[in-house]
Structure 1
Amino acid sequence: MTNLTVTIAGVTFDARFEEEAAPKTVAAFRARMPFIGQVVHVRWSGEGVWIPLGETDFGVGYENHTSYPAPGQIILYPGGISETEILLAYGGVHFASKMGQLAGNHFITLTSGLDRLAQIGPKVLWEGAQDIRFELA
């Protein structure tokens, strides 16, 4: 089921909210849609891109959290020992910061175009920050 589209660097993916597993995170994020930002390449986590959100407070704690999102999974780190962020795995990820291992709430999964996902990471790494947009389908 497609609930939303995610467009990164001009490439659009269908996606679904993980409403049963992360209902509070989904509700908090949905209230801010459309959500527009920029992704940069991760520093410590491996093959992923992230949206640094500083002190942004989504008002949620941990639910459906993981340190190892699979390619196409999007997680929200609600803040704490590191800044709030949204991370998209495009390959192998062990979610971490300079403070050590973190866990984020898996709340969105890309459902189409996963074969194009691998081009996003190197583009962000070599060309710099890229636009990202989350919209309801």
Structure 2
Amino acid sequence: MDNMDNLEEQPQPTPESALDILQAKYDALSWLVGCAVVLLAGVAIFFDLYLRQRVKDVDRNQMMVNQQISEYVRNELQKNKEFAAKLQDYARTHPDFAAKLQESAREHPDFAPMVATILSKSMASNQPPPSTSVTKSPSPASSTPPQPTKK
């Protein structure tokens, strides 16, 4: 019964105190939103500064990459062309090499255009392979074994 007496004795909230509670909640929410805005502004400033630094790094590296590309075009591309010309000469004089190139083109489709170029240029020259004075004897592995005869 003691509890019942306590409930009856507690004053009911007046409209004025309910307004004070709502005002306190509004103030707390307003403070929380303000803190969130300040925090987001700080994060935005941090990312802005970070991305500006990355852009400067990219601009700095772009000059270096452009120099490397121009150096490659000047030096390495010429070396690659010379190597391709040597492969064409070799394919012209060695027909078995042309077959190996075609096989590698089938295994690695990325090389097919290069192989086609090499083979077309080596076959288009119409130069016969140099003749050799040494005659080759058939190798034992390539000869067919004798067939048994039926009685």
What TM-score, normalized by structure 1, do the two folds share?
0.18
Q: Which structure features the higher share of strand residues? A: 1
Whichever of the two has the greater Rg, that structure is 2
Q: Which structure features the higher share of helix residues? A: 2
